[in-house]
């Protein structure tokens, strides 16, 4: 097995130092929000966004005025993208069925899928107004039936971004706040004097937002660890360097710390791609950001075989995986650790980010090893229930339960079973003993 790295990223120890600094800053900030509530939130908004309105929550009139700033085409495009997300979310919701089954005579077991009762949706927007993130979180929560949907987004160029607010409103948000960063997720999770806390936080964000969600997990639910964007291109000589370079830089422009990895079995394609990246960085308007990500977090890996490429890809577990090979379906069949797959040269990650309908809030930092991305099911809790309908069933299952509780030493548990064996079966079970086998 030969794996050659033509370009490597920032050493892991340096990334760990960055993470430690982020952790400390977030912990301090969340503590301040918990102690001082609205006052802390306002100070943070003024400090980081230079934004301190009379109220962070938008009124209906303010929302309508912002939507009116959009052109008819902009509004139509937002609605089209949202329709695609909703259509796929409804199909996913239809796949989740409540269950009730009689497992033995008189014993009924079941489960119900119940919406989370309140959700806080974070929509990034300080550097780029992430209109599509509103569809992915707000609209999907609405399909799930969440009764209270709170949405937060930072100001953009000193005021609410009309397109983001339109997407939030059309998606079904009940409360919209112009708040960004740690102060937004902290306020939604912890609550303040003016914001009632939610039960769950969802949505992508920068390293500070992602870390805040991680620290708040337990106090509230979270969708997943969705930190800085990651992308991987798996390619062979069926495509060229321009296509690979374009797809890598298209995601690297998200931020200064967005990993971008080319994984190939062609050294020629690897070298062509690196040359194309340098060429494109001279003309890409967002080159300053994309170059920082590429220089510090970019990797080019050359393998001998497709099997090696598969092994490396599953180990990295990248958020976005663009597959452009002569065997795309083989990768679909065999890959196990990733956020989402983009199969073939005709599609791309930007389609998934903005319009095609699959959700773009996806696991990062290897979280694809144990979770998929945000989807309608994340907003639903599956709760089980049981019912015993007959005296005979209560007696029979109770006797088994009694003996199994005593096997573990739980006498109080056993008596929960025994009292029912006595009452519904007429069997005299001595107190604190297991029921006899019939």
Catalytic residues: 319-320
Contact criterion met (CB below 8 Å) for 349 and 331: no
């Amino acid at each position: 097995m030969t794996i050659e790295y033509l370009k490597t990223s920032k050493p892991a120890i340096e990334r760990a130092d960055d993470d430690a600094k982020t952790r400390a800053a977030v912990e301090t900030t969340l503590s301040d929000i918990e102690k001082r509530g609205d006052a802390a939130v306002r100070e943070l908004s003024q400090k980081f966004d230079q934004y301190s309105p009379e109220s962070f929550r938008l009124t209906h009139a303010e929302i309508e005025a912002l939507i009116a700033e959009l052109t008819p085409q902009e509004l139509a495009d937002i609605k089209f993208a949202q329709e695609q997300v909703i259509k796929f979310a409804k199909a996913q919701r239809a796949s989740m069925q409540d269950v009730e089954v009689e497992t033995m005579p008189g014993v009924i077991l079941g489960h119900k899928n119940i919406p989370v009762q309140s959700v806080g949706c974070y929509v990034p927007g300080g550097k780029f107004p992430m209109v599509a993130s509103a569809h992915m979180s707000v609209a999907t929560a609405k399909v799930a039936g969440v009764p209270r949907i709170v949405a937060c987004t930072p100001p953009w160029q000193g005021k609410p971004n009309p397109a983001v607010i339109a997407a939030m409103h059309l998606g079904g948000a009940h409360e919209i706040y112009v708040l960004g960063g740690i102060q937004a997720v902290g306020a939604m999770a912890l609550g303040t004097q003016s914001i009632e806390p939610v039960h769950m936080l969802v949505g992508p964000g920068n390293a500070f937002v992602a870390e805040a969600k991680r620290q708040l997990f337990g106090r509230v639910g979270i969708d997943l660890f969705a930190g800085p964007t990651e992308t991987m291109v798996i390619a062979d000589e069926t495509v060229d360097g321009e296509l690979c370079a374009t797809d890598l830089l298209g995601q690297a422009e998200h931020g200064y710390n967005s990993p971008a990895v080319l994984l190939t079995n062609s050294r020629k394609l690897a070298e062509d791609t690196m040359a194309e990246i340098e060429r494109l960085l001279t003309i890409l308007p967002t080159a300053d950001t994309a170059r920082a990500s590429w220089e510090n977090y970019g990797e080019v890996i050359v393998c001998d075989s497709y099997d090696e490429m598969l092994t490396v890809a599953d180990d990295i577990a990248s958020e976005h995986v663009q597959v452009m090979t002569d065997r795309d379906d083989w990768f679909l069949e065999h890959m196990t650790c990733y956020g989402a797959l983009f199969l073939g040269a005709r599609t791309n990650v930007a389609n998934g980010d903005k319009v095609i309908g699959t959700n773009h809030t996806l696991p990062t930092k290897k979280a694809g090893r144990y979770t998929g991305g945000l989807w309608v099911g994340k907003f639903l809790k599956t709760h089980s229930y049981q019912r015993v309908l007959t005296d005979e069933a209560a007696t029979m299952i109770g006797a088994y339960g009694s003996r199994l509780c005593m096997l573990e030493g739980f006498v109080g548990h056993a008596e929960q079973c025994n009292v029912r064996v006595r009452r519904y079966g007429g069997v005299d079970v001595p107190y604190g003993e297991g029921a006899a086998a019939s």
